[in-house]
Structure 1
């Protein structure tokens, strides 16, 4: 039974917006562009894993939770966690093609692509071990004792494992049902009622992770970003505010509410709060009154009393 589906990939959304507002000549442009495409590849891989659990079921009581963010001795995020009365399994999905070598001392993943170029990634084994430790501590804090295993799920069809991992299995996403069915079920650690109570507690403890503002995360000066309201169809920044709405200076398209997306981008990219002056500068408008009206028209949290100290926050 799938208890929690996957939520929006907020890191990818942030990278998309950051990539769009960075000038082509910016020193971080290539890196952000690359990270954006890697994040998208990860999403595609996770969708394949989701499809497996949507298609198959198991001959025993189980719960599946995708994209879980919890906190014990630290915050941690799990791609997919599978619980039964007998055990739990952390599934770490990797959408990486090419020839893979799981190296030890130090633990890292090497990938050789079709052109022979070798890239190095953080070892999925390290990620799984960290998540298992933190999840086990979270379970103990909630009075649950159950063995937790881990498996690396390879979701790219063009993958070949040259050196397999030593501590955790690596499997193709199509074989997830076989792998889970073959884990021995010798002892029930929790009852069916406790299993579903556990899934409810995980849902209640889950805290969606917002990796914002992106400029802080990537060490980018907000002054380096292109400002203004963008009409996406023309990919043009600098829509002009007139009485009939926002006008695209390239094609003349008019949109009355496109400023809302631009203001949301401020919170994703630049800061937790925005004031009137910042709004005017970011949207390229001169009127204090117009900026105030636009901010007040959105469902934002307003703080401060005097005009000079009023700030607005986004309700995540």
Structure 2
């Protein structure tokens, strides 16, 4: 999971439902989850079925600079014979590409829905990749759902169903060797990491004093647990845990950074005893040279495990 997706998941859990940002957060989270599911299926299929003379490199969730902004790339495939951007769409319905006005809509359940044009998104990503890598780049729109059907196709790029994608890519590899994928990958990995935290919090208008604090019960999911007898207890469902605070610390780190003021840690975890707080933070938020502050040890696998259970 990338940080952008994790931030939306945390906000959907921690924002009160009457907050102005809760509806857009949950709506965009739903779309992001669908997209992530399509990308995971695409990567799994390629790793399993794609047969090329030499193994390709598959890079995902890239943001390549273009003019004043960035082009987002779902999956970039690097091979000695070609480079290809995969624009993965995990949508259902009937799809219509307007080749004259470069617009896009789908029909679903008798309704017409205008949406961002996948061909325009792909074209922007291809041009950004070509300029950054100084290499020719192909592009494919990938339909990850079998419940999607193209009625009117795009003008400049192919649309390929996920099942057929390995065969299509194998055709691209029939040309001459011309690229060094290791050199291209090194260049892409040198790109600075984008910090979505500040961008999304400002966009949604969310500040620290607006989110729900406390250690979340992973069963109730919106109920703060109480620390008693070295365990976290949920008064609503009776569940208990020894280390539920670990996820809360990771959530705070993703939203607001790894620096944790000790005074705020009492409120964040909902404890009052300084010895209890010390034991809870001893290994999870390390002391530095600055008095009154700790630094949370990043453990993204805890958040991934928690949210995979929530959104399975």
Q: Which of 289, 293, 305 is the equivalent residue of 2:290?
A: 305
**How many residues are aligned here?**
296
Name the SS for the 1:120 alignment partner: strand
Q: Which of 114, 120, 123 is the equivalent residue of 2:114?
A: 120
Structure 1 residues not aligned, in runs of 5+: 1-7, 141-145
TM-score normalized by the length of structure 1: 0.80
Question: How far did residue 201 of structure 1 move?
Answer: 1.9
Structure 1 residues 48-63: aligned runs within 5 Å: 48-63=41-56
Question: How far did residue 262 of structure 1 move?
Answer: 0.9
RMSD value, Cα: 3.0
The more displaced of 204-213 and 127-136 is 204-213
TM-score normalized by the length of structure 2: 0.81
Name the SS for the 1:138 alignment partner: helix
**What is the alpha-carbon distance in structure 2 between the residues aligned to residue 269 and residue 184 of structure 1?**
42
Question: How far did residue 172 of structure 1 move?
Answer: 0.9
Q: Which residue of 1 aligns with 2:253?
A: 267
Structure 1 residues 53-92: aligned runs within 5 Å: 53-69=46-62, 71-73=64-66, 75-92=70-87
Structure 1 residues 244-263: aligned runs within 5 Å: 244-263=230-249
Q: Which residue of 2 aligns with 1:183?
A: 172
Question: How far did residue 298 of structure 1 move?
Answer: 0.7
1:243-296 C-alpha deviation (Å, 9 max, x unpaired)? 422222224433222111111111223445321222222222234554354334
Q: Which residue of 2 aligns with 1:285?
A: 271
Q: Which of 88, 93, 102 is the equivalent residue of 1:98?
A: 93
Structure 1 residues 130-279: aligned runs within 5 Å: 130-140=124-134, 146-183=135-172, 185-190=174-179, 194-195=180-181, 197-198=182-183, 201=186, 204-205=189-190, 211-212=196-197, 215-279=201-265
Q: Is the 8 A contact 1:69 1:75 kept in 2?
A: no
1:181-200 C-alpha deviation (Å, 9 max, x unpaired)? 3338444323xxx34x3365
**What is the alpha-carbon distance in structure 1 between the residues aligned to residue 73 and residue 52 of structure 2?**
24
Name the SS for the 1:285 alignment partner: coil
The more displaced of 260-269 and 102-111 is 102-111
Q: 1:292 and 1:102, CA in 2 relative to 1: closer, same or farther beyond 3 A? A: farther
The more displaced of 75-84 and 93-102 is 75-84
1:55-79 C-alpha deviation (Å, 9 max, x unpaired)? 3233533513141536555655422
**What is the alpha-carbon distance in structure 2 between the residues aligned to residue 23 and residue 72 of structure 1?**
35
**What is the alpha-carbon distance in structure 2 between the residues aligned to residue 260 and residue 236 of structure 1?**
16
Structure 2 residues not aligned, in runs of 5+: 301-312
